[in-house]
A and B are shown apart, each in its own frame.
Chain A
């Protein structure tokens, strides 16, 4: 449904989150339209008439209370449906951390008001001289599991990749690990979604999702720069 509004779904769990969104939208939308319909029907049905005195209704009769209790119970059933659907997705996206032998780990460092992405070089490991650090530019490979490690240098930020339907707070002093598997190539937005100071709105970044060949080429090209830069220090 969100895709229809123009935001692609580019991770393995994006469709699951969209499904929960659709369930909530339909459930809430149904009750909104029904409640508004009843509301306006009552207004017109019982509008002022000559010779008819208005009644004060206390809502104590069973026939009157039914207007509250019946919708209330049905809404509770809807809530159960929403909770069951959401918990399943929550577990898959937030509680579970899938493992695969060729997973890529990227460190994401937030600060006022920029993102630094530390990618592993050709050795596939972080904290080695061939690491590739990029500001406001994250490079990942399509159809490959990625773990991200979120760190903050100052205040609370929130790492949000709308096309992944991914959002995770970044807390100073903690390393928060999450995952995603991109499914579409292209360049998309990364946002901070936690007010983090006067420059909060000025810290957008880009995520570049590449094919395996494109990503390998990018790593080879940029890691040589990283190694040369490290050697100069």
Chain B
């Protein structure tokens, strides 16, 4: 009985911890919060992502990156390739953002969401081999996967492994989009000869996630 009460209190604390920052965020950015309601259908109420809906985690992504990607979707530079199933879902959603102001508002809201720890879904990756393959990624994404706004490179540490894999596959196949960085990433993804190499490099990125979490905890 006592343990049940503890569980309920713990669950309430977790729910409250997730709700309080969002409530404050909504108060600061009501338009962004209003627009984000549509996003929650696939990305979840906390922006945690949902692999079943092919929707990645977007919580706490940098505002500049979210804004760029939304504009790529809005202009059709992303999400209009016949083989990009997830992108084709996002393309019409981005078209609901009729103004630049709305796009900025929802990007700011997403960027303000607390990060959500992702569950590992892939197996069979070799992080040691992945660390070697990752050398080329460090040029833009940094040794800890934190990204580099100056190069328009998003953070990849902390992102869901399934989404990293699908993104690498799309970059390599040339289906991710027609924006300049997609062309650069096509070349970079081309250095990974097969899916195993992609899983290896993702296994290494997952260790960066752990390191990032450990750093955050300190």
Contact = CB atoms under 8 A, between A and B. Distances in A.
Interface of A: 109, 111-114, 116, 118, 133-135, 153, 197-199, 202-203, 229, 232-233
A135 B41 contact: no
B171 to A, nearest CB: 12
Contact of B92 (A118, A202, A232, A233): A202
B88 A135 contact: yes
B13 interface: no
Contacts of A197: 41
Interface stretch (B17-25, B77-85, B134-142): B77-85
A198 B38 contact: yes
Given A111-B88, A134-B82, 5 more contacts: A199-B89, A202-B92, A202-B95, A229-B174, A233-B174
B173 interface: yes
A133 B82 contact: yes
A84 to B, nearest CB: 42
A153 B96 CA distance: 23
A113 B174 contact: no
A197 B174 CA distance: 28
B91 interface: yes
Nearest to B80: A135
A203 B88 CA distance: 10
A202 B174 contact: no
Contact of A135 (B38, B82, B95, B173): B82
Contact of A199 (B82, B85, B93): B93
Given A202-B93, A202-B96, A113 B41 contact: no
9 contacts: A111-B89, A112-B88, A112-B89, A113-B93, A116-B88, A118-B82, A135-B81, A197-B41, A233-B173
Contact of A232 (B41, B81, B91, B174): B174
Contacts of A232: 174
Interface in B1-41: 38, 41
Contacts of A113: 88-89, 92-93
A198 B41 contact: yes
Output the residue of B88, B173, B174 with the most chain A CB within 10 A: B88
Given A135-B80, A198-B41, A233-B174, A153 B85 contact: yes
Nearest to B96: A202
Contacts of A135: 80-82, 88
Output the residue of B85, B173, B174 with the most chain A CB within 10 A: B85
A46 B38 CA distance: 56
Given A198-B38, A232-B174, A114 B92 contact: yes
A194 to B, nearest CB: 16
B92 A203 contact: yes
Contacts of A199: 89, 92-93
B49 to A, nearest CB: 16
Contacts of A203: 92
B162 to A, nearest CB: 17
Nearest to A109: B82
A112 B80 CA distance: 13
A46 B87 CA distance: 67
A111 B92 contact: no
Nearest to B53: A112
Nearest to A114: B88
A111 B80 contact: no
